[in-house]
Structure 1
Amino acid sequence: MQPLDSALPNPPADRGDSSRRRKMLVRVTASGVVIAAVLACAWALAYPERAPAAVGDIVEQLTGANPHPVRLQRPAVAPLSAMALLGKQIFFDQSLSASGKLSCASCHSPAHAYGPPNALPVQFGGPSMTLQGDRPPPSLMYLNRQPNFSIGPDTADADTAANFAQEAAAASGVARAQKTAGAAPAAPAMVPQGGMFWDGRADTLQAQAFGPLMNPVEMANKSEADVAAKFEHGAYREQLQQLFGPNIFNDSRLLLSEAMFAVARYQVEDPSFHPYSSKYDYWLEGRARLTRAELHGLQLFNDPAKANCAGCHLSKPSRDGQPPMFTDYQYEALGVPRNGALAVNRTAGYYDMGVCGPHRTDLASQTQYCGMFLTPTLRNAATRHAFFHNGVYHSLDEVMNFYNLREIEPGKIYPHDAQGHVMKYDDLPAKYHANIDTADAPFDRKQGDAPAMTDADIKDIIAFLNTLTDGYQPGAGH
């Protein structure tokens, strides 16, 4: 139970009648809404110049309610089109893989926020389902708002194909913008932004859906013709002809393009991919209350001197009222430790360097981006069991400890060599260590400094992150 005086804002110095303030102090529980309202009004009368902030602070602290509710703009819900219904069939079709056991839904489970259904760091695939992938599949949720990949402000002519190498070269002399929670997002002049997969190599849901079909450690088809043959002799042959015409099977590339477009339509139209039904969404709208721990976690999340999470994972609704996406869509080099459980990492000299390789090759020469990976949304992050591009961590506690201790106690994060030296940033070649973010809090601290967050702070931040899980029922409890 929290004393009221710990929740009240400090009065102005020139109005400092301490005896009057002490007479106002009573203990109230979170359920004492009526008492809280009376006290808030009394405070407003005593200090009218602080009235809006005072009342809002008191209501928020004592009831867990959002004192400034907003109206969020959610996508309209309608019956799925024939195209989307076909895409849904394709999404769950295991016969489209070489093994006959892998579908889109195998790695993007609807029951797990369209992410992996297990705690493996990466998933298995290939012709016999024995080959290990090298990156954990991101969630497919909310990708309908993902912008196209670009570098710097969008100033190119819409009719001109982007030349990312030229954009990168033009941006190479500009200092990296610092990211601070609560401040306006930095202009993305220096880092890549947008795109899908961990390295942004696909711009559309259609292109993203096509990728796993040919990946040798995923669905592992040998050629486009092999996939087209499976469609031609599959259970929805007639639907393909009805939607795309009787000659659709005469052109394998066109067939695959249209089929993946259907998958994209399923992801766009089905509300389960973008429900915006988390407790935090309802709190923003004034339809749910946060617990004391959740509210404190939100404050820490947004505090530029503490967790500074909102520096990259934006927590406020957009100007047009769309719910917050909890990502700035940009790329960061975080220097997470190497994951020895991945088969690819047992190859000497192998490094996954994100934007500059190995999966995308068009920016391989732009070494200022080596080690950078897409900042994912934190929506439904509490449902995941593999974090970062290499799945090295398996809980939010581990993730938060990484942020908290990476710079001040690296020996607790990274392995040691034979001489006992800490192998800091061990999953990126030393010549690219300058790319790693050491400017943004909490990475701006040095060895010997106090950590940005206490264990209790981390516990509360994780409590808040759990409010970002979809499926909350407003009115079913607080």
Structure 2
Amino acid sequence: MSGTRVDCPSGAPAVMTPRRWLRLLVWSAAGMVLALVVVCAYALVYPERMPPAVGSIVEEITGANPHPVHLMSPQNAPLSAVALLGKQIFFDPSLSASGTQSCASCHSPQHSYAPDNAFPVQLGGAHMNQAGYRPPPSLTYLYRQAPFSIGPDQGDTDVPVDMTQLASQAAGVQRAQKTALAAPAAPAMVPQGGLFWDGRADTLQIQAIGPLMNPVEMANATQEDVARKLLQTKYLDQFKQIFGAGIVNNPSLLISEAMFAVGRYQTEDQSFHAFTSKYDYWLEGKARLTHAELHGLQLFNDKDKANCAGCHLSQPSKDGLPPVFTDTQYEALGVPRNPAIPANRDPKFFDMGVCGPFRDDMTKETQYCGMFLTPTLRNVAERKVFFHNGVYHDLKQVMDFYNLRNTAPEKIYPRDASGKVQKYNDLPAQYHANVDVADAPFDRKFGDQPAMTDRDIQDIIAFMKTLSDGYKAAGS
């Protein structure tokens, strides 16, 4: 082979032999690799200066966030005297009828303030033999939760909001379609805010009193019972020092201030909102995500695929507040009935969330039956049960539900005696229209290709594992 004749700059002829071609290709490739290394190195030092297109390439190769942000997380400061009192109350089992159950019994600090077991519901009562109705949700990341409302943000107002009137006005109005990275077109059309699975408590103080009086939890018969127990505690002197000696003569005020203290503990103690996940550090440019985690994040945000971020907001706010991975709104998902809950042995019993049976102010607003609060996904990989009825026990089961509920419901729901699939079997038939069928991945029809492949699901789970607190970033 004689090679290809070319003209040199000097005008002298030259021949490009195969060896010269190979040398040229090697040097070209080396130059490209060197340029890429320089770009990546520059991106790691000055990621904020990267153009979007280059930043995307760098993100894929290095796993670094090409556009890091500064997150405005709560400051870690010593607890106030009130919060320290609340901490003692939180861990005190003597305030229960059984003498063995405290707030921490169902909200373990070692398990993101959720239960430390995989039971769908917890046991309580005076003899610790009464089963609950719902799995206790985590108490983390509630510090930004607004009061329960329906309709536009009311802001600061001195006029009481008529919830029934607002709910009635919303009846018959098409629900807002929710997509990732975009605000709902009409967010006023769904309930939002509040605490517990059904939003019936508006403050941490009100929430704290609930378990004390619940017959299947701490099971005090009256508030006087609670006050009497508080008067016998070893920290009574702290009550007197903080609230005045006269508080011992006012049972209702004593309980109110005790629950206020519990709320202050949850607000001030950083363990309730640590923001120390790998994702937090990645947002700030202090950690790198793996290829699987990055792909999972893309799918999580993809409005046509997983669309998780349609409800579990993943982006920092405009003022730099870190995402809490919930829009604090309510959804009817139609999860299957959990036969492991004792109450469900009664075929006439249905837990319908916002419209009952544990809150009675919204029972006539049937357009909200079956809706439950969207929980935060922070520390989701540490949980042992999922959804309001604890029907699933791992994230793969959860993702399969989202993926197959409409496309292959026979894989999600049981069949009746005739072999018919009992879709939405944990909600009375007259309320099935409340179930979300508009938002991806629920917008698929029976027999359609599911929105996600098994590999997609594995990568989404890999990303969700980056939401667990306690990650040790280099230099942190």
Q: TM-score, normalised by structure 1?
A: 0.90
Q: Give distance in 1, aligned partners of 2:352 and 2:64.
A: 43
Q: Is the Cα–Cα contact under 8 Å of residues 153 and 187 in structure 1 kept in the other structure? A: no
Change (3 A) 1:402 1:27: farther
Match of 1:332 in 2: 331
**Residue deviations 1:243-300 (CA, integer Å, cap 9, x gap):** 1111112221111000000001111111111111000000000000000110000000
Q: Displacement, 1:184?
A: 2.5
Q: Is the Cα–Cα contact under 8 Å of residues 151 and 188 in structure 1 kept in the other structure? A: no
Structure 2: which amino acid aligns with 1:89?
Answer: Q
Q: Displacement, 1:26?
A: 8.3
**Residue deviations 1:180-237 (CA, integer Å, cap 9, x gap):** 1122344421110000000000000000111000000000001100110000111111
Q: Give distance in 2, aligned partners of 1:407 and 1:383.
A: 28
Change (3 A) 1:27 1:282: farther
**Residue deviations 1:19-42 (CA, integer Å, cap 9, x gap):** x999977899xxx9x763436799
Q: Displacement, 1:54?
A: 2.4
After the TM superposition, which of the residue ranges 157-166 and 270-279 deviates more from structure 2?
Answer: 157-166
Q: Is the Cα–Cα contact under 8 Å of residues 36 and 59 in structure 1 kept in the other structure? A: no
Change (3 A) 1:56 1:26: farther
Q: Give distance in 2, aligned partners of 1:162 and 1:23.
A: 73
Change (3 A) 1:184 1:157: closer
Match of 1:17 in 2: none
Q: Is the Cα–Cα contact under 8 Å of residues 36 and 62 in structure 1 kept in the other structure? A: no
Task: Determine if the alignment matches structure 1 residue 284 to structure 2 residue 275.
Answer: no
SS at match of 1:258: helix
SS at match of 2:376: coil
Q: Is the Cα–Cα contact under 8 Å of residues 135 and 388 in structure 2 kept in the other structure? A: yes
Change (3 A) 1:271 1:341: same
Task: Determine if the alignment matches structure 1 residue 106 to structure 2 residue 105.
Answer: yes
Q: Displacement, 1:159?
A: 1.0
Q: Is the Cα–Cα contact under 8 Å of residues 37 and 59 in structure 1 kept in the other structure? A: no
After the TM superposition, which of the residue ranges 107-116 and 52-61 deviates more from structure 2?
Answer: 52-61
SS at match of 2:362: coil
The within-5 A match list for 1:77-92 is: 77-92=76-91
SS at match of 1:143: coil
Q: Is the Cα–Cα contact under 8 Å of residues 404 and 452 in structure 1 kept in the other structure? A: yes
The within-5 A match list for 1:245-264 is: 245-264=244-263
After the TM superposition, which of the residue ranges 354-363 and 163-172 deviates more from structure 2?
Answer: 163-172
**Residue deviations 1:384-409 (CA, integer Å, cap 9, x gap):** 01100000001000000000000000
Q: Is the Cα–Cα contact under 8 Å of residues 40 and 62 in structure 2 kept in the other structure? A: no
Q: Displacement, 1:305?
A: 1.1
Task: Determine if the alignment matches structure 1 residue 135 to structure 2 residue 134.
Answer: yes
* Number of residues of Structure 1 aligned to a counterpart in Structure 2: 448
Match of 1:467 in 2: 466
Greater C-alpha radius of gyration: 2
Task: Determine if the alignment matches structure 1 residue 429 to structure 2 residue 428.
Answer: yes
Task: Determine if the alignment matches structure 1 residue 233 to structure 2 residue 232.
Answer: yes
Q: Give distance in 1, aligned partners of 2:78 and 2:211.
A: 28
The within-5 A match list for 1:384-463 is: 384-463=383-462
Match of 1:167 in 2: 166
Match of 2:20 in 1: none
Q: Give distance in 1, aligned partners of 2:455 and 2:473.
A: 27
Q: Give distance in 1, aligned partners of 2:149 and 2:254.
A: 29
Q: Give distance in 1, aligned partners of 2:353 and 2:306.
A: 25
Structure 1: which amino acid aligns with 2:304?
Answer: A
Match of 1:48 in 2: none
Q: Displacement, 1:122?
A: 1.1
SS at match of 1:129: coil
Q: Give distance in 2, aligned partners of 1:344 and 1:380.
A: 28
Q: Is the Cα–Cα contact under 8 Å of residues 64 and 288 in structure 2 kept in the other structure? A: yes
**Residue deviations 1:394-451 (CA, integer Å, cap 9, x gap):** 1000000000000000000000000110000000000000000000000000111101
The within-5 A match list for 1:197-212 is: 197-212=196-211
Structure 2: which amino acid aligns with 1:427?
Answer: D
Change (3 A) 1:99 1:41: closer
Q: Give distance in 1, aligned partners of 2:412 and 2:426.
A: 12
**Residue deviations 1:123-177 (CA, integer Å, cap 9, x gap):** 1101111111110111101111101100010247711222110010111132111
Q: Displacement, 1:78?
A: 1.2
After the TM superposition, which of the residue ranges 148-157 and 98-107 deviates more from structure 2?
Answer: 148-157
SS at match of 1:145: coil
Q: Is the Cα–Cα contact under 8 Å of residues 40 and 55 in structure 1 kept in the other structure? A: no
Q: Is the Cα–Cα contact under 8 Å of residues 438 and 444 in structure 1 kept in the other structure? A: yes
Q: TM-score, normalised by structure 2?
A: 0.90
Match of 2:66 in 1: 67
Q: Is the Cα–Cα contact under 8 Å of residues 82 and 261 in structure 2 kept in the other structure? A: yes
Q: Give distance in 2, aligned partners of 1:62 and 1:96.
A: 55
Q: Give distance in 1, aligned partners of 2:469 and 2:449.
A: 35
Q: Give distance in 2, aligned partners of 1:195 and 1:72.
A: 25
Q: Is the Cα–Cα contact under 8 Å of residues 195 and 202 in structure 1 kept in the other structure? A: yes
Match of 1:38 in 2: 38
Q: Give distance in 1, aligned partners of 2:114 and 2:309.
A: 23
Q: Give distance in 2, aligned partners of 1:190 and 1:250.
A: 46
Match of 2:120 in 1: 121
CA RMSD of aligned residues (A): 2.3
Structure 2: which amino acid aligns with 1:141?
Answer: T
**Residue deviations 1:293-351 (CA, integer Å, cap 9, x gap):** 10000000001111000011010000110001111110000000000000110113100
Structure 2: which amino acid aligns with 1:274?
Answer: H
Task: Determine if the alignment matches structure 1 residue 57 to structure 2 residue 56.
Answer: yes
Q: Is the Cα–Cα contact under 8 Å of residues 279 and 472 in structure 1 kept in the other structure? A: yes
Change (3 A) 1:474 1:362: same
Q: Give distance in 2, aligned partners of 1:451 and 1:207.
A: 42
Q: Give distance in 2, aligned partners of 1:146 and 1:163.
A: 20
After the TM superposition, which of the residue ranges 174-183 and 313-322 deviates more from structure 2?
Answer: 174-183
